[in-house]
Structure 1
């Protein structure tokens, strides 16, 4: 996969002024003093892990070289993340925009009219492509997942003895108290009835090392999330060869900022990258006992190979290769 010229990558964190003009600069300094260096967020990880994958493949790139891109307007600009970079100056370059962009096309209905040099929009997964296709046209949208660091997320993370049967990964974002009663409590009760031990970790309330520590002691994971656009956390778990019993409710995209008053789209999934090697899914708590039986039977017969799925589909190298394939398609169409 040879490229003569480095590709041009761009990413900046959104940091708008809040109260007065230019107050973002002192606020950034104060945040760093109070909280230390910020941890990379999900979208920043898209940029970082893409660059990691490119380095592994020996593919050169420039990062945030605005002087170069302004002076080489025939070069493709690969803009990752939210749309604020599109307004940094008047881009004359052909643009690959994404992934990690806005949540729904209703946020930018005039995207292709306003930024006429966008040649491809990237979204994280297949169901998001279907959603974006209906607004921007399928020829203008591709899906591309960021890769999983399979050297960091590795079976060696697991301890020799695994005293916990299930780690419940709680990523329920909306109406959490309702789902504690309707889903989480019945799941916990069923596990206890079967004599299965469990621990819980809740999305947004743990440090990175907390997940590693809990994951190191568990045999399997129960993943509870309304839906995922890619699902980095559950894929990192799979890379440690830990199988997952996943709640996959389907139905409509549930984000209350959009649904049902601004947009309705379905079906969605909580496991957009998945096959039978990864684990078992269930749609609701009524179906959980049956899914649990199937999962335990397959687990004890060594029928799962979740790391193999990641190695076949979602390593840093494979996802960087997919990105370059899209890049070449755009380049060849110019």
Structure 2
């Protein structure tokens, strides 16, 4: 590839919250305590892994003043400030974390020389293309590290993992969705473990998956869904709540007047497991899900290897770069 590949990922600067200078104390505490890597940072880390897998060299966070005319630019950082001070003519492949919705930055294509704005899946790219124009948003799924997310052959699997990531109406969803599901598992005498998004480290999650025969995934929708895909890579079939619509409470503020189709499992097929829209469908499909697990009918890891590996992700990014730079 002619020219250098430069990737930018920067987090927003902490601001004082309670008193002057407390941002420095909070930053120090954050450094020393056990922390989880955010999904957006994981996107950046896995892109770097994917490029290394394909033996493609890159530079991270080079000062804008040192960009040369033939350099290719990828910007994945969090918030608008990542591009602050960019005054080069080089086209930019940007995306994922600069905003939550296009209405938060209507002029980004006028403000900077964007070639495209990346999104992870079809349903989110559809939103951005509707606001910015047809084909302005390209679909790029981040790769799953299938070398790390690989189950031991000798693992003693016995539990169903119930993974909870309710984004809105948490109390209502706990009462009306989670608790009835747990009651049904008890009725069927199915052993399960319960974890919530953000309450575990990566090592803890991997260990739990090692002992899981399947996973019930409860989330309103995902732009990609790294957690459930990491489970698939561990050969853990998924039984997913997929209610079908985007439920972000900010959508009306952003000008979304009509219902927007969405998915909690944007990458999924029959080899990965089952999905349900409501409790009635959950109840009717649960026995089939358990029986299919016992008979080895699902092949979730193969799905990840074919569609969402680091290598596949790097190949897709190279295709986007070639389209952007010619």
Q: Does structure 1 residue 96 correspond to structure 2 residue 93? A: yes
Deviations 1:196-252 (A, max 9, x none): 11110001122222212221212110000000000000000000001010000112x
Aligned-pair distance for 1:134? Answer: 0.4
Query: In structure 2, how many angstroms separate the alpha carbons of the residues matched to 1:205 and 1:323?
Result: 31
Q: What residue in structure 1 maps to residue 4 of structure 2?
A: 6
Q: What residue in structure 2 maps to residue 140 of structure 1?
A: 136
Q: Of the candidates 27, 33, 36, which is equivalent to residue 35 of structure 1?
A: 33
Aligned-pair distance for 1:23? Answer: 5.2
Query: In structure 2, how many angstroms separate the alpha carbons of the residues matched to 1:18 and 1:86?
Result: 22
CA contact (8 A) 1:163 1:218 kept: yes
- Structure 1 alignment gaps of length 5 or more: none
Q: What residue in structure 1 maps to residue 309 of structure 2?
A: 315
- Structure 2 alignment gaps of length 5 or more: none
CA contact (8 A) 1:15 1:24 kept: no
Q: What residue in structure 1 maps to residue 286 of structure 2?
A: 292
Q: 2:325 aligns to what SS in structure 1?
A: helix
Q: Of the candidates 306, 322, 329, which is equivalent to residue 323 of structure 2?
A: 329
Query: In structure 2, how many angstroms separate the alpha carbons of the residues matched to 1:174 and 1:8?
Result: 37
Instruction: Map 1:246-325 to 2 at 5 A.
Output: 246-251=240-245, 253-256=246-249, 258-264=250-256, 265-325=259-319
Q: What residue in structure 2 maps to residue 76 of structure 1?
A: 72
Q: What residue in structure 1 maps to residue 104 of structure 2?
A: 107
Aligned-pair distance for 1:110? Answer: 1.6
Q: 1:310 aligns to what SS in structure 2?
A: helix
Aligned-pair distance for 1:32? Answer: 4.4
Q: Of the candidates 80, 85, 90, which is equivalent to residue 82 of structure 2?
A: 85
- Please provide the CA RMSD for this pair: 2.2
Query: In structure 2, how many angstroms separate the alpha carbons of the residues matched to 1:242 and 1:4?
Result: 41
Query: In structure 1, how many angstroms separate the alpha carbons of the residues matched to 2:155 and 2:58?
Result: 41
Distance 1:24 1:81, change over 3 A: farther
Q: 2:97 aligns to what SS in structure 1?
A: coil
Report the more deviating stretch, 202-211 or 266-275.
Answer: 202-211
Distance 1:160 1:203, change over 3 A: same
Query: In structure 2, how many angstroms separate the alpha carbons of the residues matched to 1:123 and 1:111?
Result: 15
Deviations 1:128-147 (A, max 9, x none): 01010101112211010110
Deviations 1:242-291 (A, max 9, x none): 1010000112x2122x1334343511000001111100000011211112
Distance 1:112 1:26, change over 3 A: same
- TM-score of the aligned structures, taking structure 2 as reference length: 0.92
CA contact (8 A) 1:123 1:144 kept: yes
Distance 1:277 1:94, change over 3 A: same
Report the more deviating stretch, 267-276 or 170-179.
Answer: 170-179
Q: What residue in structure 2 maps to residue 124 of structure 1?
A: 120
Query: In structure 2, how many angstroms separate the alpha carbons of the residues matched to 1:41 and 1:208?
Result: 11
Q: What residue in structure 2 maps to residue 160 of structure 1?
A: 155
CA contact (8 A) 2:101 2:254 kept: no
Count of aligned pairs between the two proteins: 323
Deviations 1:172-213 (A, max 9, x none): 122111111100111111111111111100011222222122
Q: 1:155 aligns to what SS in structure 2?
A: coil
Query: In structure 2, how many angstroms separate the alpha carbons of the residues matched to 1:152 and 1:81?
Result: 24
Q: 1:168 aligns to what SS in structure 2?
A: strand
Distance 1:24 1:319, change over 3 A: farther
Distance 1:29 1:282, change over 3 A: closer
Aligned-pair distance for 1:294? Answer: 2.5
